[in-house]
C-alpha cells in the first residue's frame, strides 16, 4: 500500500511513501507519520491519502514510512478541507499551511504525551444581565443570522459589545456547540480573559502566540479531544485548531490589521478564513468593531452581511470630546515645550492634579525617525537595507547609544562625530515614544510615567504587567504606540493625546486614511470609559484635513462615504480585488530583467489589470533588492479563474532564464 504524505515544506503537492506489510493497521487520513527525508533525516508529516494496491505500479521506487507517532488522526477532515481551501485561495503550498497550522512540537519526531484528562468541570457563572440596548442588539444579531451567516455588530467604543458576545456564546454552548473568540495579536490581555474566565471558568481555553510550544501542543490536543473547552479565545492562528461542532466564531475588532498574516506564507486573513471555517460547520460568524473595515461595512450595507448597530456607550456615558491642536501655528507662535503644545501641558497638569490618568499616543510606524549631521546633512543608513538608522537610547546612562535598523536589526554604536565631515555631532531628528517619555519626565516631574511599545514588551508578560499597573493606577502617564489602542478599558483615563496625528496619513497606501481614522477613533475610545468625562487632544500639522472633522463628530459613516468613492474611482477593494507580487534578488540588473519578463507576460494575459513595475519606498531589505507588481481584478470576475491564470504565469516565468534565482511571493488580498 502507498500513502501520500503532507510534509511541512514550501514545495508543491504531497509525497508518496510505501506502507510496509509489517504495519499492523491501515493508517487514517490526518494521522501523523514519520518518514525518511534525504540521506539520513526523518521528518514528520500528515497522511493525506491511502492508496489501494490497485492504483499502484512498481513499488520499489518508494521509500518505506518509518513510524506512526499515534494510531489516531490529529488533523480532522474539516481541517484538511480548510488547509486545501487556503492553498487554493492564497496560492500557497499545503506544506506551508501545515507549518502554520501545527505547533512545531507536533511537526517534529517526538514521543507524544498522553492526552490529559479534563480537569474538574467548572460551573458556568452567570454573565451580567444585558441592558435594553444590548438585548436589542443580541436579538437583532440572532434574527440576522437566519438569512446571512455573517453579521457585523457595529457598536461604538464602550457600548458593551463584549457582554453581547458572552450572551451569544452562552446560547451556543447551551445547545452543545463550541465557540471560537478571535482577537487581534496584542489585544489578548488579561483584562478580556479575566472577564471570560469569570463567566466560563475552566471551560475557557486560551491560545496565544507567546505560549511555549508545549503549551500549544497541550491546547491543540485538548481541542482535539473535544471535551475540555466550550469556548476558546485566541489569535488568528487558533483558526487552525482541530475543532469539531463549532457553532459560532466571533471576530472581535474585525478591522484590525494583525488579522492578516504577512510573512511567511500562508498570507491568510483571519476574517476570510473564519468564514470558510464556519461554513464547514454551518457555524455563525459575528464581526464586532467600533470602526469597521471599509470592505466589511460595504458588505453589511449591501446585505451580504447582516448589520446590527449600537450607537450609545454603556451606562449613558458620552463619547469623548475631540479637540484639535494646530501644530504649525503652535510652533510659529513658539507655544511648544518640545513636542508638547502649551494647551496639552496645561490640560495634562489639570488632569494629573485631579487624580486622573493620561495616555500619550505616538505612532512610530510610518514615522521616519532618523539621525542627521547638522553640519553636512549626512544621515547614517543601514548596510543591508535602504533605510535610515534610528537612535536607541542606552539602557544604562554610562552605556553608549546605538543606531538600529528597524528592518533587519543591524546596529552600530552612535558616532560621537559625523563619520562624513568629521565636524558635526549627529542629532536625532525623528521622535518616537522614547523621546516623548523623556520629555514627559522633564515636564511632569511628580508623575509616574511608563512606556509601552515593542521595545518595552519583549519579555513574556511585560505587556500584561504594564497594562495591569496602569489599570491599578500605579502609573499616571502611559506613553505608547498603537499597542495602547486595542480594546483596553481603564477607568481613570480622562485624557488621551495624540502627539502627531497626521503622521499616519502620509503613507503611500490606499488604506492609510481608513487606518488613521480607525486608530484615532480607537485610541480616543480609551478616554472617559467610567463616569469621567473623556477628552482627546489631537496635535496635527494638517489641521484642515477632513479626517479631523469626521473624528470630531465620531462620524464613521462620513469617512466611509468619502473612502468608498475613492475606492471606486481608483479600482480598489471592494470593487476590485488585489493581488500583490513581490520579486527579490541580490543583483539589481537580474531583478530588473526578471520584473520586466513577468510584467510582459502578465500584461499579455491581464492587460491593464496589471500595474507597471513598482519600486517600493524601501527598495532594498537585507541585501535583497525589491520590485512589485499589482493585479486588480474586477469583483464581478471570477477570482478563482484569475488566480489560476496568474499561478500558471508565475510558474512558467520562474523557469525562464532571466528569472533564475529571483524570489517570487504572491500576496492575495494584501493589506
Ligand atoms: P466595548 O467592547 O463595546 O468597547 P465593553 O464590553 O468593554 O465595551 O463595555 C464597556 C464597559 O461597560 C465595561 O466596563 C463593561 O464591564 C461594562 N458593561 C457593559 N455591559 C454591561 C452589563 N450588561 N452589565 C454591567 N456592566 C456592563
Ligand atoms: Zn537593515
Q: Which of 83-92, 105-114, 280-289, 348-357 has the lowest mean pLDDT?
A: 105-114
What number of residues does the chain have? Answer: 671
Kindly report which listed range (42-56, 436-450, 599-613) carries the lowest average pLDDT score: 42-56
Tens-digit pLDDT profile for residues 366-379: 345 788 898 998 98
Average pLDDT over residues 289-314: 97
Which pLDDT score, from 0 to 100, does residue 187 have? 60
Question: What's residue 520's pLDDT?
Answer: 93
Does the pLDDT of residue 629 top 80, yes or no? Answer: yes
pLDDT by residue (tens digit) across 137-173?
999 999 999 999 999 999 998 899 999 999 999 999 9
Cβ(238)–Cβ(232) below 8 Å: yes
User: What pLDDT, in 10s, does the model give residues 393-408?
Assistant: 777 777 778 888 888 8
C-alpha span between 48 and 591 (Å, rounded): 37
Q: What is the pTM of this model?
A: 0.92
Say which ligand is closest to the CA of 389: 2
Mutate to test the pocket of ligand 1, among 160, 309, 316 (most ligand atoms within 8 A of CB): 160
Share of the chain above pLDDT 90, in %: 73
Note the pLDDT of residue 370: 81
Mean of per-residue pLDDT scores for the chain: 91
277 C-alpha to center of ligand 1: Å?
29
Cell numbers 451567516 correspond to 149
Least confident residue range of 126-135, 173-182, 239-248, 600-609: 126-135
- Could you tell me the distance, in angstroms and rounded to a whole number, from the CA of residue 489 to the centre of ligand 1? 9
Grid cell in block for residue 43: 521528518
Residue 47 reports pLDDT greater than 90? yes
Q: Which is nearest to 8 in space by CA: 40, 46, 35, 49?
A: 46
State the pLDDT confidence band at 255, using cuts at 50, 70 and 90. very high
Helix (H) or strand (E) holding 231: strand 231-234
Question: So what's the pLDDT on residue 186?
Answer: 65
Residue 526 in contact with ligand 1 by CB distance below 6 A: no
46-50, 340-344, 487-491: which has the minimum mean pLDDT? Answer: 487-491
Question: From the CA of 378, how far away is ligand 2's center (Å)?
Answer: 18
Does 474 score more than 70 pLDDT?
Answer: yes
The pLDDT score that the predictor gives to residue 367 is 45
Of the pLDDT bands very low, low, confident and very high (cuts 50, 70, 90), residue 57 is low
Assess whether the C-beta atom of 273 lies below 6 angstroms from ligand 1. no
What is the pLDDT at residue 120?
44
Residue 173 is predicted with a pLDDT of 97
Question: Does position 610 have pLDDT exceeding 60, yes or no?
Answer: yes
Ligand 1 centre and the CA of 158: distance in Å?
A: 6
CA 646 to chain centre: 26
Taking the C-alpha atoms of residue 548 and residue 517, their distance in angstroms, rounded to an integer, is 9
Which of 146, 195, 189 has its CA nearest to residue 167? 195
C-alpha cell at 293: 473595515
Q: What is the dihedral of CA 298, 303, 305, 310, to 10 degrees?
A: 80
Q: What percentage of the chain carries pLDDT values higher than 70?
A: 95
Atom of ligand 1 nearest to the CA of 525: 4
Q: Which helix (H) or strand (E) holds 591?
A: helix 588-606
Q: What pLDDT shows up at residue 396? A: 75
Rg (CA), the chain: 27
Task: Please tell me if the CB atom of residue 160 comes closer than 6 angstroms to any atom of ligand 1.
Answer: yes
Q: How far apart are CA 294 and CA 252, in angstroms?
A: 16
Q: Is the pLDDT of residue 114 over 80?
A: no
Q: Which residue has the cell 477607568?
A: 491
Angle formed by the axes of helices 94-101 and 77-90, nearest 10°: 120
Of 138, 189, 188, give the one whose Cα is nearest residue 167: 138
Would you say the CB of residue 628 lies under 6 angstroms from ligand 1? no
Q: What is the mean pLDDT of residues 340-352?
A: 97
CA 103, CA 215: separation in Å to the nearest integer? 9
Spatial neighbors of 315 by CB under 8 A, at least 6 apart, are 131
What nine digits make up the cell of 534? 473623556
CA neighbor of 494 nearest in space, from 324, 317, 254: 317
pLDDT value at 365 more than 60: no
| pLDDT computed for residue 237 by the predictor | 95
- pLDDT for the residue numbered 662: 96
* 260-287 pLDDT per residue, tens: 999 999 999 999 999 999 999 999 999 9
Q: Are strands 493-498 and 357-361 parallel, antiparallel or unpaired?
A: parallel
pLDDT 10s digits, 61-93: 899 999 999 999 999 999 999 999 999 999 999
pLDDT of residue 388: 86
Q: Exposed, middle or buried: residue 638 (CB in 10 Å: 0-12, 13-18, 19+)?
A: exposed
Give pLDDT, residue 364.
65
Among protein residues, the one whose CA lies closest to atom 25 of ligand 1:
128
Q: Which residue, judged by its Cα, is nearest atom 27 of ligand 1?
A: 160
- Whether residue 48 is predicted with pLDDT greater than 50 in this model: the reply is yes
Write down the pLDDT at residue 244. 93
Q: What is the structure's pLDDT at 426?
A: 87
CB 240 within 8 A of CB 217: no
pLDDT reading at 488 higher than 50: yes
Number of helices followed by number of strands (H, E) in the chain: 18, 28
pLDDT digit string (tens) for 174-208? Answer: 999 999 999 997 666 778 888 999 999 999 999 98
User: What is the edge-to-edge ordering of all strands in the sheet holding 306-310?
Assistant: 204-207, 231-234, 178-182, 246-252, 284-289, 150-155, 306-310
**Nearest CA-CA partner of 536 in 282, 215, 157:** 157
Residues with CB under 5 A from ligand 2 (ion): 382, 384-385, 405, 407-408, 410
Task: Please state the rounded mean pLDDT for residues 638-664.
Answer: 95
Query: According to the model, what pLDDT value does residue 58 have?
Result: 76
CB-count exposure of residue 613 (10 Å: 0-12, 13-18, 19+): middle
Among 424-433, 471-480, 639-648, the least confident range = 424-433
Amino acid at each position: 500500500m502507498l500513502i501520500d504524505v503532507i510534509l511541512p515544506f514550501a514545495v508543491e503537492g504531497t509525497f508518496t511513501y510505501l506502507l510496509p506489510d509489517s504495519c499492523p493497521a491501515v493508517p487514517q487520513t490526518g494521522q501523523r507519520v514519520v518518514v525518511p527525508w534525504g540521506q539520513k533525516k526523518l521528518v514528520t508529516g500528515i497522511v493525506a491519502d491511502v492508496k489501494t494496491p490497485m492504483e499502484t505500479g512498481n513499488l520499489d521506487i518508494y521509500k518505506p514510512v518509518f513510524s506512526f507517532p499515534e494510531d489516531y488522526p490529529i488533523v480532522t477532515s474539516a481541517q484538511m478541507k480548510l488547509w486545501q481551501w487556503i492553498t487554493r485561495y492564497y496560492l500557497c503550498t499545503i506544506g506551508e499551511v501545515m507549518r502554520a497550522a501545527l505547533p512545531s512540537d507536533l511537526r517534529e519526531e517526538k514521543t507524544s504525551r498522553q492526552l490529559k484528562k479534563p480537569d474538574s468541570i467548572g460551573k458556568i457563572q452567570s454573565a451580567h444581565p444585558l441592558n435594553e440596548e444590548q438585548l436589542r442588539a443580541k436579538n437583532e444579531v440572532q434574527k440576522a443570522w437566519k438569512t446571512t451567516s455573517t453579521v457585523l455588530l457595529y457598536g461604538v467604543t464602550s457600548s458593551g459589545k463584549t457582554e453581547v458576545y458572552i450572551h451569544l456564546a452562552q446560547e451556543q454552548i447551551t445547545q452543545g456547540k463550541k465557540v471560537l473568540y478571535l482577537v487581534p495579536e496584542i489585544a489578548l490581555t488579561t483584562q478580556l480573559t479575566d472577564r471570560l474566565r469569570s463567566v466560563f471558568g475552566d471551560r475557557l481555553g486560551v491560545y496565544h502566540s507567546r505560549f511555549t510550544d508545549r503549551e500549544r501542543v497541550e491546547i491543540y490536543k485538548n481541542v482535539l479531544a473535544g471535551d475540555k473547552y466550550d469556548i476558546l479565545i485566541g489569535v488568528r492562528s487558533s483558526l487552525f485548531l482541530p475543532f469539531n461542532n463549532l457553532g459560532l466564531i466571533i471576530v472581535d475588532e474585525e478591522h484590525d490589521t494583525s488579522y492578516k498574516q504577512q510573512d511567511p506564507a500562508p498570507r491568510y486573513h483571519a476574517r476570510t478564513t473564519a468564514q470558510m471555517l464556519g461554513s464547514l460547520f454551518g457555524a455563525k460568524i459575528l464581526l464586532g468593531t467600533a470602526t469597521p473595515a471599509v470592505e466589511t461595512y460595504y458588505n453589511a450595507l449591501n446585505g451580504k452581511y447582516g448589520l446590527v448597530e449600537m450607537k450609545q456607550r454603556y451606562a449613558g456615558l458620552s463619547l469623548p470630546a475631540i479637540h484639535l491642536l494646530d501644530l504649525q501655528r503652535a510652533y510659529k507662535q513658539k507655544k511648544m515645550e518640545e513636542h508638547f503644545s502649551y494647551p496639552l501641558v496645561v490640560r495634562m497638569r489639570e488632569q494629573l492634579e485631579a487624580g486622573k490618568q493620561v495616555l500619550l499616543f505616538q505612532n512610530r510606524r510610518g514615522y521616519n525617525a532618523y539621525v542627521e549631521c547638522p553640519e553636512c546633512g549626512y544621515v547614517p543608513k543601514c548596510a543591508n537595507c535602504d533605510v535610515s538608522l534610528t537612535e536607541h537610547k542606552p539602557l544604562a546612562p554610562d552605556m553608549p547609544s546605538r543606531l538600529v535598523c528597524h528592518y533587519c536589526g543591524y546596529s552600530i554604536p552612535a558616532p560621537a562625530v559625523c563619520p562624513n565631515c568629521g565636524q558635526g555631532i549627529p542629532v536625532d531628528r525623528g521622535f518616537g515614544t522614547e523621546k516623548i517619555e523623556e520629555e514627559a519626565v522633564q515636564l511632569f516631574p511628580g508623575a509616574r510615567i511608563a512606556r509601552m511599545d515593542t521595545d518595552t514588551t519583549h519579555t513574556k508578560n511585560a505587556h500584561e504587567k504594564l497594562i495591569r499597573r496602569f489599570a491599578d493606577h500605579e502609573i499616571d502617564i502611559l506613553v505608547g504606540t498603537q499597542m495602547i489602542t486595542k480594546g483596553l478599558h481603564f477607568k481613570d483615563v480622562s485624557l488621551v493625546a495624540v502627539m502627531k496625528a497626521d503622521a499616519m496619513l502620509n503613507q503611500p497606501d490606499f488604506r492609510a486614511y481608513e487606518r488613521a481614522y480607525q486608530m484615532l477613533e480607537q485610541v480616543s475610545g480609551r478616554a472617559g470609559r467610567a463616569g469621567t468625562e473623556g477628552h482627546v487632544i489631537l496635535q496635527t500639522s494638517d489641521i484642515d484635513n477632513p479626517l479631523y472633522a469626521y473624528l470630531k463628530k465620531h462620524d464613521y459613516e462620513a469617512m466611509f462615504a468619502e473612502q468608498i468613492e475613492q475606492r471606486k474611482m481608483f479600482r480598489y477593494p471592494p470593487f476590485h480585488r488585489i493581488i500583490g507580487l513581490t520579486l527579490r534578488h541580490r543583483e539589481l540588473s537580474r531583478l530588473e530583467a526578471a520584473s520586466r519578463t513577468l510584467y510582459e507576460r502578465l500584461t499579455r494575459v491581464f492587460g491593464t489589470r496589471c500595474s507597471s513595475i513598482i519600486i517600493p519606498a524601501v527598495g532594498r531589505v537585507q541585501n535583497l533588492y525589491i520590485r512589485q507588481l499589482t493585479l486588480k481584478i474586477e469583483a464581478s470576475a471570477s477570482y478563482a479563474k484569475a488566480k489560476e491564470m496568474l499561478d500558471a504565469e508565475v510558474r512558467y516565468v520562474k523557469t525562464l532564464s532571466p528569472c533564475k534565482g529571483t524570489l517570487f511571493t504572491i500576496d492575495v488580498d494584501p493589506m
